[in-house]
Amino acid sequence: MKIIEPTVELIDDIDGAQILRKLERCGKVSRQSKLGDAESFVRSIIKRGHESVLEHVSLTFHIICDRAIMAELTRHRHASFTVESTRYVKYDELTVIKPFSTPDGSDFTFWHMMRDTERNYLFLVEQGVKPELARAVLPLCLATELYMTANLRELRHILKLRTGNAAHPQMRVVAGKILDILREKLPVIVEDIKS
Ligand SMILES: Cc1cc2nc3c(=O)[nH]c(=O)nc-3n(C[C@H](O)[C@H](O)[C@H](O)COP(=O)(O)OP(=O)(O)OC[C@H]3O[C@@H](n4cnc5c(N)ncnc54)[C@H](O)[C@@H]3O)c2cc1C
Sorted by where each starts, the structural domains of the chain and their CATH numbers stand as 1-13+58-185 (3.30.1360.170)
Q: What pLDDT is attached to residue 109?
A: 83
Query: What pLDDT shows up at residue 33?
Result: 80
Establish whether 87 is a catalytic residue: no
Residue 59 CB neighbours (<10 A)? 21
Distance, CA of 138 to CA of 56 (rounded, Å): 39
- From 72, 153, 156, the mutation candidate for ligand 1 (largest count of ligand atoms within 8 A of CB) is 72
The partner residues of 148 in beta bridges, in order of sequence, read 61, 81
By C-alpha distance, which of 189, 168, 163 is closest to 59? Answer: 189
3-state secondary structure of 1: coil
> Hey, whose CA ends up nearest to atom 27 of ligand 1?
76
Block means of pLDDT (10 residues each) for the chain, length 195 residues?
95 98 94 87 96 98 98 98 96 90 75 94 98 97 98 98 96 98 98 90
